[in-house]
């Protein structure tokens, strides 16, 4: 440490150079990542299946727009607006097609396939009022239009904006949706509009993520500054601490950028995490310096600083390693974003520790003991705790037992789930639009199914009848709407063309064959109507059925998919393989990933930390004892979640591993002081007093900073981030209780057991 003290400015210069070299990476890392890669690894079989579906059937992401005119929907003026609106929406780069009342009516009136669909023109609107009324009746009677492209009450139009299939689509989505909003605003200024869809929800989450990132970074640092100034009453120490956490953040995001990784709605938490965790160890350096300076006021400045840095650095190194272990345990998760959070949080925390050494050496050099502020209120608080633990151990043990029992009961009420729409505030326009759309249309989010017949004939009469039977059963589910499939299209078209097999009638085999031949000839080049409309693959071997569902939580969606799979198996039997595909099944698998993340990351974190503590303490018994107060805050946190009705979701799933990493910091410092006192032959009461006086202030201040820093997350708009902040604040407070109440009692019990063993021998 003496070399670090004597060459402190040189070491600090090296830090500045490294930060400067990494800073260009911030330009890449601070661009939000909108892709599915946030949730799924590249080799995830579900993701690969989704990509294969897009290659065969195109992009299943659509934007559903409901447009309510100020007058009747079948007025010519409103139909003209609808045509013009459709044309402008189709002109947006990244939009494949726009389906509406006008495009559907045009398709049935002109069945011959036209590239990119039928061209719409105001001339398609009937000229006379009588013709218009007849045309309107035809639209009302078309089961493929009524309730789909006209809402149930005929108050508004429904447009389905189909997106292009492109590997760059995730990057294109923000611009597409922004232009879509501009078109709607300019074309429908005096109309009521709503828009919905998976992409709309996803983009709203990304927009809030980007905004919350700036809020957290700015407000989080402001809170840190205020708390640190209250503690130190020194701009010099505040600047040093802020430099440490800012440096750790730059390293984390700089490395992300150089590796081509962008921030997402999970890694947006990194700045706050690094800030509160990086500063936690930094608190111990000035406390150690004041203690060493008071013990030998005549000592040389360099010697005092080197001794203080050495005393603080040893436990701080251990806490850094254990905290990093807690974060790195998250790499066991099958969620890509959680893995990234674990990796780059570990890098940031490790960097913050290394940066703190030269920074604290510069900040503390030559300072007197009086310049490092004493905190009488904190010391009085610690003295009161010490008296309670020492004089009323049974009462304290009883209270802790009640807290553990109550928390364990609450933890049994916790369920695993995630609801993307529920991440947004209840008054967000995307949420209110979704509620209005479901009220007007029923379930509208497409859940895609594909089937592969054994005989490869997707349009055979037998397959058409089976898909109709499956669709009818699927529509009876409480979470689904009216399905769209080729049998339905063929049946209604047969009625229009031949006056046979209308809605509700069976499509007999002979008529089905005649109809198929008719469209085969019409399409040319072997293209059937089903292929032209995207309900059969280009080779005619795979068919598609679209069953709309409500926007619901992942667990409810997974159950709905299971129910529908059972129906499909019964209706298709061994004649075809039927499976769900598209985006929604991916969303449903998130629950499984969350469970894996929670169990694996927590188990790995416990094992790694236990191993490190055993090496450091050289005692399995003490390592096991040290683990209990670190699991205590996790249990309390789960208890709070259970009583509050919170779910373990994609973000809160990482809290347990993080909390262990935070809590172990306090344990290491406490046990370091305790063991030094034990080595000097001090009894239990003396060890408690020594540990409380030496590291108690730093632990208390650290908890204050943790609570203050994570409280900033409560200001977020994303509900799941608010929960993350709340739970971490609860866990940080519980960690303090674990260190000051649970750990001393366990050490007392352990000492008593050890004494009995010695007496027995």
**164-179 pLDDT per residue, tens:** 888 778 778 889 999 9
Say if residue 155 is exposed, middle or buried (CB neighbours under 10 Å; 0-12, 13-18, 19+): middle
- For residues 469 and 452, the answer to whether their CB atoms sit within 8 Å is no
In 3D space, the residue among 213, 654, 651 whose CA is nearest the CA of residue 420 turns out to be: 651
User: What is the distance, to the nearest Å, from the Cα of residue 165 to the centroid of all Cα atoms in its chain?
Assistant: 24
Q: What pLDDT does 405 receive?
A: 96
Residue 662 has pLDDT above 80, yes or no: no
Confidence of residue 498 (pLDDT cuts 50, 70, 90): low
Higher-confidence residue of 671 and 211: namely 671
Mean pLDDT of the 694-705 span: 83
Residue 66 has pLDDT above 80, yes or no: yes
Higher-confidence residue of 510 and 673: namely 673
Mean pLDDT of the 672-692 span: 88
Higher-confidence residue of 258 and 656: namely 258
- For residues 273 and 347, the answer to whether their CB atoms sit within 8 Å is no
* Among 12-21, 39-48, 188-197, 361-370, the least confident range: 39-48
Of all helices (H) and strands (E), which one includes residue 71? Answer: none
Tell me the average pLDDT of the chain. Answer: 82
Instruction: Domain ranges for the chain, please list them.
Output: 2-37+204-412+589-760, 62-196, 434-581
Task: Say what the alpha-carbon torsion angle 458, 460, 466, 468 is, to the nearest 10 degrees.
Answer: 90
Residue 518 has pLDDT above 60, yes or no: no
* Among 319-323, 422-426, 604-608, 679-683, the least confident range: 604-608
Residue 442 has pLDDT above 50, yes or no: yes
How does pLDDT run across 528-575, given as a tens digit for each residue?
A: 666 666 788 877 788 889 999 999 988 899 999 999 999 999 999 999
In the structure encoding, which two tokens stand for residue 705, read together? 């900073």
In angstroms, rounded to a whole number, what is the distance separating the alpha carbons of residues 373 and 363?
14
Q: What pLDDT does 352 receive?
A: 92
- For residues 349 and 323, the answer to whether their CB atoms sit within 8 Å is yes
Residue 580 has pLDDT above 80, yes or no: yes
Higher-confidence residue of 118 and 412: namely 412
Q: What pLDDT does 111 receive?
A: 52
In the structure encoding, which two tokens stand for residue 63, read together? 């934007």
Of all helices (H) and strands (E), which one includes residue 160? Answer: strand 157-163
Higher-confidence residue of 57 and 86: namely 86
Q: What pLDDT does 116 receive?
A: 45
Q: What pLDDT does 601 receive?
A: 72
Higher-confidence residue of 70 and 759: namely 70
In angstroms, rounded to a whole number, what is the distance separating the alpha carbons of residues 587 and 581?
11
- For residues 355 and 22, the answer to whether their CB atoms sit within 8 Å is no
Q: What pLDDT does 650 receive?
A: 65
Q: What pLDDT does 761 receive?
A: 40
In the structure encoding, which two tokens stand for residue 124, read together? 């398609």
In angstroms, rounded to a whole number, what is the distance separating the alpha carbons of residues 176 and 167?
15
Mean pLDDT of the 379-385 span: 88
Mean pLDDT of the 375-398 span: 87
Mean pLDDT of the 356-382 span: 79
Work out the percent of the chain whose per-residue pLDDT is above 90: 29
Its CATH architecture, for the domain 2-37+204-412+589-760, is Up-down Bundle (1.20)
DSSP three-state, residue 244: helix
Q: What pLDDT does 16 receive?
A: 95
In 3D space, the residue among 426, 449, 430, 653 whose CA is nearest the CA of residue 560 turns out to be: 449
In the structure encoding, which two tokens stand for residue 409, read together? 């009961």
Residue 114 has pLDDT above 50, yes or no: no
C-alpha distance from residue 169 to each of 34, 36, 418, 718 (Å): 10, 11, 24, 24
DSSP three-state, residue 214: helix
In angstroms, rounded to a whole number, what is the distance separating the alpha carbons of residues 565 and 710?
43
Q: What pLDDT does 607 receive?
A: 83
Mean pLDDT of the 10-26 span: 94
Mean pLDDT of the 91-98 span: 92
How does pLDDT run across 181-209, given as a tens digit for each residue?
A: 999 999 999 999 999 998 899 888 878 87
How many beta carbons lie within 10 A of that of residue 258, not counting itself?
15
Q: What pLDDT does 562 receive?
A: 94
Work out the percent of the chain whose per-residue pLDDT is above 70: 86
Q: What pLDDT does 355 receive?
A: 94
DSSP three-state, residue 578: strand
In 3D space, the residue among 609, 629, 606 whose CA is nearest the CA of residue 737 turns out to be: 629
Higher-confidence residue of 742 and 43: namely 742
**Alpha-helix runs per DSSP H in 392-428:** 393-411
Higher-confidence residue of 57 and 452: namely 452
Residue 96 has pLDDT above 80, yes or no: yes
Q: Within 13 Å, how many C-alpha atoms sit on residue 450's CB side?
A: 20
* Among 70-84, 214-228, 511-525, the least confident range: 511-525
Residue 540: which region, alpha, beta or left (left: phi > 0; alpha: psi -120 to 50)? left
* Among 149-153, 368-372, 690-694, the least confident range: 368-372
In 3D space, the residue among 665, 720, 727, 725 whose CA is nearest the CA of residue 219 turns out to be: 725
In 3D space, the residue among 212, 79, 233, 61 whose CA is nearest the CA of residue 150 turns out to be: 79
- For residues 664 and 433, the answer to whether their CB atoms sit within 8 Å is no
Q: What pLDDT does 177 receive?
A: 93
Highest mean pLDDT among 81-90, 118-127, 257-266: 81-90
How many beta carbons lie within 10 A of that of residue 2, not counting itself?
13
In angstroms, rounded to a whole number, what is the distance separating the alpha carbons of residues 708 and 703?
8
Q: Which residues contact 680 (CB under 8 A, 6 or more apart)?
A: none
Confidence of residue 407 (pLDDT cuts 50, 70, 90): very high
Q: What pLDDT does 711 receive?
A: 84
Instruction: Give the DSSP per-residue string, 690-724.
Output: HHHHHHHHHHHHHHHHHHHHHHGGGG-SSHHHHHH
**Alpha-helix runs per DSSP H in 266-335:** 270-282, 284-295, 301-328
C-alpha distance from residue 53 to each of 106, 336, 536, 537 (Å): 28, 22, 12, 10
DSSP three-state, residue 158: strand
* Among 98-102, 353-357, 724-728, the least confident range: 724-728
Q: What pLDDT does 220 receive?
A: 73
In 3D space, the residue among 368, 358, 363, 367 whose CA is nearest the CA of residue 5 turns out to be: 358
Q: What pLDDT does 473 receive?
A: 94
Q: Which residues contact 259 (CB under 8 A, 6 or more apart)?
A: none
Highest mean pLDDT among 286-300, 592-606, 632-646: 632-646
How does pLDDT run across 708-759, given as a tens digit for each residue?
A: 877 888 888 888 778 888 888 898 899 899 999 999 998 888 665 444 444 4
The angle at the Cα of 237, spanning 351 to 229, to the nearest 5 degrees, equals: 115
How does pLDDT run across 291-324, given as a tens digit for each residue?
A: 788 877 777 888 888 988 888 888 888 888 888 8
Q: What pLDDT does 653 receive?
A: 67
Q: Which residues of 510-519 are buried (b: 16+ CB within 10 A; e: fewer)?
A: ebbeebbebb
């Amino acid at each position: 440490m003496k070399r670090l003290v004597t060459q402190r400015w040189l070491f600090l210069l090296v830090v500045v150079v490294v930060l400067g070299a990494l800073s260009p990476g911030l330009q890449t890392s601070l661009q939000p990542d909108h892709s599915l890669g946030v949730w799924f690894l590249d080799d995830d079989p579900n993701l690969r299946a989704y990509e294969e579906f897009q290659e065969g059937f195109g992009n299943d992401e659509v934007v559903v727009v409901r447009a309510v005119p100020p007058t009747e929907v079948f007025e010519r003026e409103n139909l003209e607006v609808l045509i013009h609106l459709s044309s402008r929406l189709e002109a947006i780069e990244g939009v494949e097609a726009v389906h509406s009342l006008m495009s559907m009516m045009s398709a049935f009136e002109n069945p011959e396939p036209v590239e990119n669909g039928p061209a719409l023109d105001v001339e398609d609107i009937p000229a006379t009022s009588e013709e218009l009324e007849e045309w309107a009746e035809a639209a009302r009677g078309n089961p493929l239009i009524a309730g789909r492209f006209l809402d149930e009450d005929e108050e508004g139009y429904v447009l389905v904006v189909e997106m292009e299939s492109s590997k760059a689509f995730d990057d294109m989505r923000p611009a597409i949706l922004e232009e879509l909003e501009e078109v709607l605003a300019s074309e429908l200024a005096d109309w009521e509009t709503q828009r919905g869809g998976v992409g709309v929800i996803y983009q709203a989450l990304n927009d809030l993520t980007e905004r919350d990132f700036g809020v957290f970074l700015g407000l989080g640092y402001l809170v840190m500054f205020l708390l640190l100034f209250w503690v130190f009453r020194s701009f010099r120490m505040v600047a040093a601490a802020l430099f440490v956490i800012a440096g750790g953040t730059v390293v984390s995001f700089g490395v992300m950028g150089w590796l081509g990784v962008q921030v997402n709605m999970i890694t947006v938490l990194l700045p706050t995490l690094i800030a509160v965790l990086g500063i936690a160890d930094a608190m111990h350096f000035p406390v150690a310096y004041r203690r060493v300076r008071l013990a030998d006021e005549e000592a040389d400045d360099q010697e005092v600083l080197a001794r203080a840095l050495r005393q603080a650095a040893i436990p701080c190194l251990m806490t850094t390693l254990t905290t990093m272990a807690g974060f790195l345990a998250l790499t066991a998760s099958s969620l890509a974003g959680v893995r990234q959070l674990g990796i780059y949080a570990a890098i940031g925390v490790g960097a913050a520790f290394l940066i703190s050494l030269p920074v604290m050496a510069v900040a503390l050099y030559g300072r007197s003991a009086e310049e490092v502020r004493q905190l009488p209120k904190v010391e009085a608080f610690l003295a009161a705790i010490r008296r309670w633990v020492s004089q009323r151990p049974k009462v304290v043990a009883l209270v802790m037992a009640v807290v553990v029992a109550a928390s364990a009961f609450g933890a049994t009420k916790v369920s695993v789930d995630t609801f993307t729409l529920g991440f947004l505030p209840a008054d967000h326009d995307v949420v209110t639009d979704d509620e209005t759309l479901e009220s007007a249309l029923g379930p509208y989010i497409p859940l895609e199914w594909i089937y592969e017949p054994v005989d490869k004939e997707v349009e055979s009469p037998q397959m058409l009848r089976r898909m109709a039977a499956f669709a009818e059963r699927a529509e009876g589910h409480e979470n689904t709407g009216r399905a769209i499939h080729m049998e339905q299209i063929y049946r209604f078209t047969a009625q229009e063309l031949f006056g046979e097999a209308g809605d509700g009638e069976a499509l007999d085999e002979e008529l089905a064959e005649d109809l198929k031949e008719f469209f085969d000839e019409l399409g040319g080049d072997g293209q059937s109507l089903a292929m032209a409309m995207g309900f059969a693959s280009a080779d005619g071997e795979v068919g598609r059925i679209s069953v709309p569902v409500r926007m619901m939580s992942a667990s409810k969606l997974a159950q709905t998919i299971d129910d529908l799979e059972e129906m499909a198996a019964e209706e298709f039997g061994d004649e075809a393989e039927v499976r769900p595909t598209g985006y929604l099944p991916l969303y449903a698998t998130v629950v499984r990933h969350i469970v894996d993340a929670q169990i694996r990351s927590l188990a790995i974190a416990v094992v790694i930390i236990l191993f490190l503590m055993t090496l450091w303490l050289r005692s399995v018994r003490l390592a096991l004892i040290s683990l209990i107060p670190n699991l205590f805050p996790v249990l309390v946190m789960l208890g709070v979640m259970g009583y509050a009705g919170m779910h373990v979701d994609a973000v809160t799933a990482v809290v347990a591993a993080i909390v262990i990493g935070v809590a172990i910091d306090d344990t290491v410092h406490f046990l370091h002081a305790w063991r030094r006192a034990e080595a000097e032959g001090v009894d239990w009461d003396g060890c408690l007093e020594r540990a409380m006086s030496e590291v108690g202030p730093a632990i208390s201040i650290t908890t204050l900073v943790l609570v203050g820093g994570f409280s900033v997350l409560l200001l977020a708009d994303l509900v799941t981030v608010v929960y993350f902040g709340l739970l971490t604040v609860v866990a940080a407070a519980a960690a303090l209780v674990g260190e000051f109440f649970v750990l001393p009692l366990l050490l007392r019990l352990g000492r008593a057991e050890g004494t009995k063993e010695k007496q027995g021998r």
